[in-house]
Amino acid sequence: MANLLKQTPFSIGYIETAYKEKSKLAAATLQSANGKWVSAREENFKAAAKYASWTKKDHFYAMLALQPGDASYPIVAATFILLPVEHAAMNKKVVAFFDYAFKNGDAAAKKLGYIPLPEETKAMIREYWAVHIK
């Protein structure tokens, strides 16, 4: 998609920031839910995540689009993993991998164009794992 956007004059598309950065494409300045104009920058993506209603009760499902806050970029998404309950032993291994990535992967994620989760969110996820991954 990034290559197609790059090759098509006056085109508009929706791609991950990582692909935008790698392809040296421009991003739109958009109006936040609070009516402020914001650019597609890491701190504005983090602002959207800051106001998300992450909860353990809802298994961390949250729509990050149009979050409140003057600086919240209005088009933000999170990536989720789903683990089947019938594969408890494998799920423990997957969780161990993600825990390792949470502890050691922020620099690599940023280098690839992704934004690491805040430490508070990682702590909440670990609490969730303690209850749900046995």
Closest listed residue to residue 40, CA positions, set 26, 52, 60: 26
Q: Compute, in degrees rounded to 10, the torsion defined by CA atoms 59, 65, 68, 70.
A: 140
pLDDT score for 73: 95
pLDDT score for 63: 83
Q: How far apart are the C-alpha atoms of 44 and 29, rounded to whole Å?
A: 11
pLDDT score for 77: 87
DSSP summary character for residue 37: E
Q: What averages of pLDDT result for each successive group of 10 residues across the chain (134 residues)?
A: 93 91 93 96 88 84 89 90 92 96 94 85 90 86
pLDDT score for 67: 92
pLDDT score for 23: 92
Residue ranges covered by each domain of the chain: 81-134
DSSP summary character for residue 117: P
pLDDT score for 126: 94
Using DSSP's 3-state secondary structure scheme, residue 31 falls into strand
Within 8 A by CB and 6+ apart from 52, the residues are 62, 63, 64, 67, 78
pTM for this model (two decimals): 0.77
CA distances for 52 relative to 20, 45, 121, angstroms: 24, 11, 11
pLDDT score for 74: 95
pLDDT score for 95: 96
